Copies of this chain bind each other. A is one copy, B any other.
């Protein structure tokens, strides 16, 4: 694997006579890739059907001739203002029925077929023009789907699209009424056009109604992306990429990813710690200038899977951002650490966002590799150092992980719709499991919920799956490691009902969830081993073996053979204990890592990352704050 660095660049923001200087400086600092174009529709097509490609031709030329490989983005996240005149109903509508206006970005409705055609049109024109351009080495489709909560729209376009989608899926309202249990509150429909979007109901709408809308909405993202893929693909051999945003679960990344060649994501460790990771103020203070030590790793592993092994970081935070509630600067060294961590997790390329800080508009306070006055910002030297180090390192692949964690987007929607307890959240649960694995020093693969072969793994975790798919159930039946299933896994049908026989349906293990409890933060279920379940606890019955009990004697882990069902949500210490025991049983070596240290193995090296704000010892090595250490395995 040829690891490389890159940067996001906006030639349209700078005088043309600056481009050559910028390009040369990128190359001099060891950058290989430059991403351009993804917000520049208004300059490509200033008025409808009147194009100005000249500036882009020249920018590509300058950058390419300087030796840079170009990722060209389709600009469909920022349609020009005239587009709104052409398609006044293309704007999304929020859950309070308010139109989400022009004036920033992502101002389009995934359900609007007119706009989808426009997106195809501009993508096709770009592909026709630049598909064979030797400098264009990759394509980015759109930018950060769902950023700013843009997957769900309550527009007329969404309503009619949803009704049509329902008609396709259920064929008759009778079938739909049965599937949704609409008998419950006299909610039956007689025709599909009676079915409204599930917002603003008197009390909560029927759960399968909302789940169907979530599925429909995800499908529109998939279709929107595929529409562009289909028109670009014929013109280029370069890989097609989307840059996903962190902790977004509103559309099925597995499905979008299936149409693309590489999964990239935008990694803002400090911003994410501030605005989308659970934790007390004190916990967040510990990692204030480093980001959560497991969040980047989780996303790397997730997107490596979604990219079927090919993963990039398309945007890497280089300094303070502008969009989190508070925006402190990274510790010196973090811009290097984050890049190396990405590479250790299999990233092919890490692009910093952005080359030079824009002095204007919404992101003017977002740091870059250069300051607004074109002087180097702190991250430039760190990037250059990484480039230098990369040149010394052998090319290696990703090591085989002994552990797999299943992650499923449909389940995330299911529990959004039916949390049953205020803080039940699929990402949070999966991330809690992942953090336990990572604190134990394990390489982890995140796997698809329909994974049919688990033979590469010794330990598999499957928390919070709404259902177990047929292929995965077959894989579990054949598995000879240990699978820790649950909590809340396979306790529903695909229509978000409770199966008549009660779930889960585990091959050869008699376990049923007979009652579920959600727990407020003040409460916990104490376990025999001194641990605790928090947030969630399920009462189990069955004839399976009990591997762990609650203090009051109820089953906490129950199953037989290789399958064990976990009846609650362990707190961090309990996850450590459970994972430690399972690894002991399975002869998987684990580590007792000092606070803030994390490790990741490649085929040849063990990487050690110090997320602490202080130096930490790794064996005899002292790793400074924000330091990276590697050693051959």
Chain A interfacial positions (CB closer than 8 Å to B)? 12-13, 39-43, 46-47, 75, 78-82, 84-85, 92, 94, 96-107, 147-148, 150, 180-190, 194, 196, 198-209, 274, 281-282, 284-285, 288, 319-320, 322, 325-329, 357-365, 367, 371-373, 375, 377-378, 418, 420-422, 495, 497-502, 512, 514-523, 539
Q: Is the CB of A497 within 8 A of B41?
A: no
Chain B's nearest CB lies how many Å from the CB of A342?
23
- Residues of B within 8 Å of A201, CB to CB, are 100-104, 107
Chain B CB within 10 Å, residue with most, of A82, A362, A498: A362
Residues of B within 8 A of A363 (CB): 184
**With A42-B183, A180-B360, A185-B362 in contact, do A517 and B320 touch (Cβ < 8 Å)?**
yes
Copies assembled: 3
CA distance A94 to B501 in the complex (A): 41
Q: Is the CB of B502 within 8 A of A365?
A: no
Find chain B residues with CB under 8 A from A102 CB. 187, 196, 201
Closest to A189 in B: B81
Taken together as a complex, chains A and B put the C-alpha atoms of A97 and B429 apart, in Å, by: 37
Query: Does the CB pair A200–B98 fall under 8 Å?
Result: yes
Measured CB to CB, the nearest residue on chain B to A539 is: B329
Which B residue sits closest to A96, measured CB to CB? B98
In the assembled complex, the CB of A422 is this many whole angstroms from the nearest CB of chain B, namely: 4
Q: Is the CB of A206 within 8 A of B103?
A: yes
Is the pair A103, B281 in contact by a Cβ cutoff of 8 Å? no
For A200, the chain B residues whose CB sits under 8 A away are 94, 98-101
In the bound complex, do residue A328 and residue B186 qualify as a contact, i.e. CB atoms below 8 Å apart? no
Contacts of A196 in B (CB 8 A): 101-103
Most chain-B CB neighbours within 10 Å: which of A81, A106, A182, A274?
Answer: A81
Is the Cβ of B103 less than 8 Å from the Cβ of A326?
Answer: no
Q: How far is the CB of A17 from chain B (nearest CB, A)?
A: 15
A498 to B184, CA, bound (A): 50
Could you say which residues of chain B place their CB within 8 Å of the CB of A521?
281
- A360 and B198 within 8 A (CB): no
A42-B187, A365-B420 given. 14 additional CB < 8 A pairs?
A39-B184, A42-B188, A80-B188, A81-B187, A100-B200, A180-B360, A184-B360, A205-B362, A207-B362, A326-B519, A328-B518, A357-B498, A377-B514, A378-B515
B328/A523 in contact, CB under 8 A: yes
Q: Tell me whether A81 and B360 are in contact (CB under 8 A).
A: no
Contacts of A180 in B (CB 8 A): 360-361
The answer to whether B517 touches A185, judged by C-beta atoms less than 8 angstroms apart, is no
Task: Say yes or no: B13 contacts A203, CB within 8 Å.
Answer: no
Name the 3 nearest CB pairs between A and B, nearest first: A181-B360, A184-B361, A42-B186
